[in-house]
Amino acid sequence: MDYAYVNVFENTSQVKIPKDPLQQIIGQQNAVNLASIVAKQRRNLLLVGPPGTGKSLLAQAIACHLAKPTQEISVLHNPENPERPAIEIRTTQQITNEQKKAQQVQGKNVKPENVPFFVSERLGFRCRKCGSNSKPNVNACPKCGSDKFATSKSPFGDLLAPYLEDPRRSDRVHTTRQNETTGVEEVIVYERDGVDSIRILDQKSLEQIDAIKKKRPRKVIVPLKRKTFVAITGSSETELLGDVRHDPYGGHSQIGTPPYMRVVAGAIHEAHEGVLFVDEISSLQHLQRYLLTAMQERKFAIAGKNPQSSGAIVRVDDVPCDFILVAASNINDLNHILPPLHSRIIGNGYEVLLDTWMPDNAENRDKLVQFTTQEIIRDGKIPHATYKAVEALIEEAKRRCQLTEDVQGLTLRLRELSGIIRMAGDIAVGKSAEFIEEEFVKQAIQRGRTIEEQLSDKYGSVWKAGLSEATLGHDKKPSQKEVS
Ligand SMILES: Nc1ncnc2c1ncn2[C@@H]1O[C@H](COP(=O)(O)OP(=O)(O)OP(=O)(O)O)[C@@H](O)[C@H]1O
Ligand SMILES: [Mg+2]
């Protein structure tokens, strides 16, 4: 056989596979080219094709090509109208600035030697007898051996000690000092920080801490660190659009959960700046209309969906949802896609019909070698395959192409082929073989035949099998016994 790997590999452990997830998709050159444009230009994409041809794979690969999200979305408590929490968008820049500020507010750390004696004594560092510093959790001074905190001894001290909080060692010391420049007396706090450091908070940091605490309470509903790929499965309205959870206490100010805390983002919001993958888009039915609105507006309100719930009166407007829509459909369901949604996708994107086969040539056989290697590595539990085993697999790809497509070529219904690789791998594992051998692939092909193939083997054709079942089940003449 004349394909490029022919003399190059003995088994698939020697085959190199591309790192880029888009390059790992074989055969679908047209779709792959479009996918890279879609990722670069943030367009939409409709993938049409039969199961197992790489639709989900393409959507994931697009997501891998996107930049990291730069916006975090939070809902804020609205004191004037708690049922209408506000939305806040913070950029990466703002978040890092705030983190820096918070770090500054954390005060200055110093060694116990560098604070006044009375402070290091009260925080438990300094021995009151000899003046040396040691760890605050050590009671006996390592230098002079005496009780580090001993001041005056009470005769009942030992008896009472376990029941009393240690009055001689505190976590924080509040005091005052004179500001060096203004001469004004100001508050200063020394705080024990670990076993060998003291944090100093001056008036300014204390005021900043106060200001941060007074800030409006928030809940982050779409965090900065998130995946750029969100897939929606099924057709649940709350999954797609978000919800406001129920609170049995109706958001009561003391025992209830305030409305902003109960807001949950939908898939359209979680996919903000990323890919929203909708498999079987026609199964969304009436929800397609909402999807269309979300794509037009790039923002969509989150409201309580259950009218019986206390969440129903809560609504957060203008929650951003700027996503790339990658939708999949099979050919038969194309006319169930909402026409305006369909035209919206094409208006700002592409639609592509996936190939079900590729010509049988050296280059494409090479691609199947790459595919086999990828599947083995992705599975992680099966050994590599020998050259002969891959060859048997390519023959199967050819046979299947003839069977389903009725053309000479190599099938691209690769999920089925991947099933055979796994099964052959399992046989190899069962036999403790070092590699997947040709015979294991052949056994797997035999075992992995579809039910249609098994029927047509047994009855000549699926149609005849159906007929014979009907004859056995319904057209059987009643026996004498049944009649009487
Ligand atoms: N073009 C391809 N290149 C590489 N691997 C593929 C390709 N097509 C399918 N596969 C393999 O088949 C598996 C299934 O592919 P995928 O989930 O993308 O199919 P799908 O088109 O989304 O199918 P469905 O319509 O059933 O959701 C993949 O995990 C991959 O192992
Ligand atoms: Mg899929």
Range in 182-191, 192-201, 386-395, 473-482 with the lowest mean pLDDT? 473-482
At 479 the pLDDT is 45
Query: What would the mean pLDDT of 2-11 be, rounded to a whole number?
Result: 64
Range in 146-150, 178-182, 231-235, 308-312 with the lowest mean pLDDT? 146-150
Question: Where are the strands (E) in 150-257, listed by range?
Answer: 172-178, 185-192, 198-202, 218-222, 229-232, 243-244
Task: State the Cα–Cα distance between residues 269 and 288, nearest whole angstrom.
Answer: 16
Q: Quick one: DSSP state of residue 254?
A: T
Which positions ≥6 away from 221 have C-beta within 8 Å? 73, 74, 75, 242, 263, 264, 265, 269, 302, 319
For residues 370 and 17, is the Cβ–Cβ distance under 8 A? yes
- 57 Cα nearest atom in ligand 1: 18
For residues 199 and 191, is the Cβ–Cβ distance under 8 A? yes
Query: What would the mean pLDDT of 399-408 be, rounded to a whole number?
Result: 93
For ligand 1, atom 30: residue with the closest CA: 415
Which positions ≥6 away from 437 have C-beta within 8 Å? 386, 388, 389, 428
Question: Among 30, 46, 53, which is best to mutate for testing ligand 1, by the most ligand atoms less than 8 A from CB?
Answer: 53
Provide the CB-side half-sphere exposure for 31 (13 A, CA). Answer: 29
Ligand 2 (ion): residues with CB under 5 Å are 55-56
Give the binding-site residues of ligand 1, using a 6 Å CB cut-off.
25-28, 51-57, 279, 371, 375, 412, 414-415, 418
pLDDT digits (tens, 9 = 90+) for 406-416: 999 999 999 99
Domains of the chain: 4-25+357-448 (1.10.8.60), 41-77+218-353 (3.40.50.300), 103-153+161-214 (no CATH)
At 158 the pLDDT is 63
Residue 119 has pLDDT above 80, yes or no: yes
Length reported for the chain: 484
Q: How far is the CA of 136 from the centre of ligand 2 (A)?
A: 60
Range in 190-199, 346-355, 433-442 with the lowest mean pLDDT? 190-199
Q: How far is the CA of 244 from the centre of ligand 1 (A)?
A: 36
For ligand 1, atom 24: residue with the closest CA: 51
Helices 362-379 and 387-400 meet at what angle, rounded to 10? 110
Which positions ≥6 away from 190 have C-beta within 8 Å? 115, 119, 123, 172, 173, 175, 198, 199, 200, 201
Task: State the Cα–Cα distance between residues 180 and 33, nearest whole angstrom.
Answer: 68
Question: Among 56, 393, 422, which is best to mutate for testing ligand 1, by the most ligand atoms less than 8 A from CB?
Answer: 56
At 253 the pLDDT is 74
Nearest ligand by distance to the CA of 330 = 1
Helical residues (DSSP H) of 265-384, grouped into ranges:
267-270, 287-297, 339-347, 362-379
At 477 the pLDDT is 44
Q: How far is the CA of 54 from the centre of ligand 2 (A)?
A: 7
pLDDT averaged over every residue in the chain:
87
For residues 278 and 327, is the Cβ–Cβ distance under 8 A? yes
How many other C-beta atoms are found inside a 10 Å radius of the C-beta of residue 393? 26
Query: What would the mean pLDDT of 61-88 be, rounded to a whole number?
Result: 94
For ligand 1, atom 7: residue with the closest CA: 54
- 60 Cα nearest atom in ligand 1: 18
Task: State the Cα–Cα distance between residues 311 and 258, nearest whole angstrom.
Answer: 10
Q: Is 49 left (phi over 0), alpha (psi -120 to 50) or beta?
A: left
- 49 Cα nearest atom in ligand 1: 21
Residue 480 has pLDDT above 80, yes or no: no
Task: State the Cα–Cα distance between residues 398 and 81, nearest whole angstrom.
Answer: 66
The label of the residue with tokens 């969100």 reads 230
Task: State the Cα–Cα distance between residues 126 and 120, nearest whole angstrom.
Answer: 5
At 185 the pLDDT is 85
- 47 Cα nearest atom in ligand 1: 21
Rg of the Cα atoms in the chain: 35
